[in-house]
Chains A and B, each alone.
Chain A
């Protein structure tokens, strides 16, 4: 298992290099020039060119690439072309809100979706199954911002139970932190609840037809034990896959939810950086996301081995 873990981490190095190279090239090849944006609309060609030289954008591509990679290896993600602050500090400021939101949303998703899926599979074809399945279609198809605004209208404006928007760090008090996270987490998780409830149901239905479920019933075990001890663990692998992928998606940017609830997270940083062609910030964010996917995929694979003893690395 440890050997597998190390091998997978080593295998991540070429992946990250390829990602770094393609991000770098893609940005240089796409239209738009940060120097023009910084110089403003009134600048003439010479001013723009001066800015380009100052930013190092007039160097040959490979020189730019190696300078960037060299700095990266020393832990230096560079400086934002626009705000002139360190990319590292920009990202670390934004990381906490996004991670908090993603963790809250994925926890809520698992707590709600898995039992719903199990119950729907158990009562297949009955009214409760139909209810879960049709609600999940709604969860899929209503846009996230609509759900967000409806939740704000009901819980923040009408009932006044929760604040409308904004983010408070956990350092500023746990109560404030949680109360401002509830609505965004509910909004963000709606799609994932729908998705994972359906996944759980499908996976459970397959497992419930297996011989060992019949064996468990033949032993005289109760319904709850059969469903949760015998069936759910066997149905877990596809569910874990989607939960992991969902978490990675959430962390790598949930622009709409962050915008609706005015949360200063990574999603909005990405959008701002792309709009202003802030190369160092975009590159760092994409590398960070790629690294995150590598780690989460590894964790998912390791979790398979924990749920299923037949999987050994």
Chain B
């Protein structure tokens, strides 16, 4: 490693909780970044990678965390010793940051132009017309279309990818030496992610910016990093050149992390378990009516939006069908229609031969338990004020089960999903994300369904936990013969769990068939594109070698 002047040098940094009995979150980490270099901090949730970036920016939540030791040198200047005023001066001008959630990172009540202009107004003494020119130039550089209109837009009028471009434009406005990117593409679709990563690299090369890139996604690491620091529980387990870390990891933790990354190569479909068709969806349509105007009865009605447009598929017992698509493709709307959480406009849904699409709420009740759902965010899908036991027995008791019997069954189910028996009396907040998703699975199973609809059920989980939950689903399916409708945006996950795959785009089916065909040898252009832009496509993580 060259030892010219690093832009950022973090030296034995210790961060602990700001309390009487401090707990160390960062246990003395050290790394440095050279100009023009991208260093990836990679690790699972709780590893301390975001805390490292927030400490550098001086943005640690006050009263919760504090830097207790070590040095952070930006261009030789120790940030931990600098005054708050000096830190404010450096932020935005010498070091800048982009965040994970472009949807919430911009102020909703100020125009984009104003928010960019602020950076210049705060750090420079340029006149307004000069500032406007510079802002427009920055918008141009991140390849936004129609920049004059962008300047006057509010964030909610823009897409996620556009907002992240705005964030990047804002961060790079004053050509900082250091750019900190904290999971900047995690909330974006693969296509958009691909473009944003390309943009960051392009601007980095143009300006020679040093980039501290924080991510949990090994695919992104493979695509963007020069060097990698693997973090685990506040310690840097291993650091080195990206090639070396990916092909020849020295530490067991790194090996485990890489092995948990699901492969893009689809697994073989399982043999049909039986002839029972448990979910049959035919020509399903969900149309949202256009907004009504005051004079609606005078005008010709506008066409509505077809979120789900003529979708048909069949799901047999014990099989997994993946619905794959980017955000806005209609896959979640489809899942909700199938669950009858929203009413489809047209088409037929049959669960185990019984048509449920036309039924009223009362008529639907006897059939509801046959089809159950697991939601994306285990932190919000369980009622925080009810014990796990209460959540598990509520469904069965609605169908007439006795409390004692239902509790007994709940205990069995918790054991089945690999949770301790005493979990039944505890509350959701006492569990980790992975454990909560196990509870959600147990809750779905308590109704003894024929079909489980899993809507992005592992997207919020770390890869290692993701692998465990996927294995659990597989195991349960094997034992109970339940069919799974698996909604995901992640092609890697789809490749590993699905027998069949249906690719959706703008409400329509692009391609539908066995996973090995659709993902292994796609016939549609759109599917090919999706696979093309999947991060880390060139690397076979589990085998520590380039993909064949």
Contact = CB atoms under 8 A, between A and B. Distances in A.
A, B bound: yes
A76 B154 CA distance: 49
B91 A218 contact: yes
Given A7-B294, A220-B90, A225-B118, A125 B63 contact: yes
Contact of B104 (A210, A221, A230, A308): A210
Contacts of A217: 59, 91
A75 interface: no
Nearest to A309: B154
Interface residues of A, number: 26
Interface in B49-68: 57, 59, 63
A215 B109 contact: no
A222 B104 contact: no
A218 B107 contact: no
B101 A211 contact: yes
Interface in B293-325: 293-295
Contact of B110 (A125, A218, A230): A230
Contacts of B89: 220
A199 B92 CA distance: 32
Interface string A1-28: 0011011000000000000000000000
User: Would you call the interface of chain A mostly helix, strand, loop, or mixed?
Assistant: helix
Given A215-B99, A219-B122, A309 B156 contact: yes
**Among B88, B96, B156: residue with most chain A CB under 10 A:** B88
B294 A308 contact: no
B421 interface: no
B423 interface: no
B410 to A, nearest CB: 35
Interface string B173-196: 000000000000000000000000
Contact of B91 (A4, A212, A219, A233): A219
Interface string B245-280: 000000000000000000000000000000000000
Interface string A202-238: 0000000011101111111110010001100110000
B108 interface: yes
Given A3-B293, A310-B154, A218 B104 contact: no
Nearest to A6: B294
A309 B59 contact: no
A307 interface: yes
A212 B156 CA distance: 13
Contacts of B96: 218-219
A7 B295 CA distance: 11
**Among A4, A219, A308: residue with most chain B CB under 10 A:** A219
Interface in A249-301: none
Interface in A111-132: 125
Give the interface size bracket for B toward A. Answer: 20 to 34
Given A3-B294, A214-B59, A220 B93 contact: yes
Interface in A171-199: none
A218 B180 CA distance: 11
B118 A219 contact: yes
Contacts of A211: 99, 101, 104-105
B107 A234 contact: yes
B108 A308 contact: yes
A220 B101 CA distance: 19
Nearest to A310: B156
Interface in B216-240: none
Contacts of A125: 63
B119 interface: yes
B109 A221 contact: no
B207 interface: no
A217 B101 CA distance: 16
A131 B101 CA distance: 36
B106 interface: yes
Nearest to A222: B88
A3 to B, nearest CB: 4
Contact of B99 (A6, A214, A229): A214
A3 B294 CA distance: 6
B64 to A, nearest CB: 11
Nearest to B96: A218
B336 to A, nearest CB: 24
A229 B110 contact: yes
B67 to A, nearest CB: 16
Interface string B134-171: 00000000000000000000101000000000010010
26 contacts: A3-B294, A4-B294, A7-B294, A210-B104, A211-B99, A212-B105, A212-B106, A214-B99, A214-B105, A215-B99, A215-B105, A216-B107, A218-B96, A219-B91, A219-B96, A219-B119, A219-B122, A220-B89, A220-B92, A220-B119, A220-B122, A225-B122, A229-B110, A308-B108, A309-B109, A309-B154
Interface of B: 57, 59, 63, 88-93, 96-97, 99, 101, 104-110, 118-119, 122-123, 154, 156, 167, 170, 293-295
Interface of A: 3-4, 6-7, 125, 210-212, 214-222, 225, 229-230, 233-234, 307-310
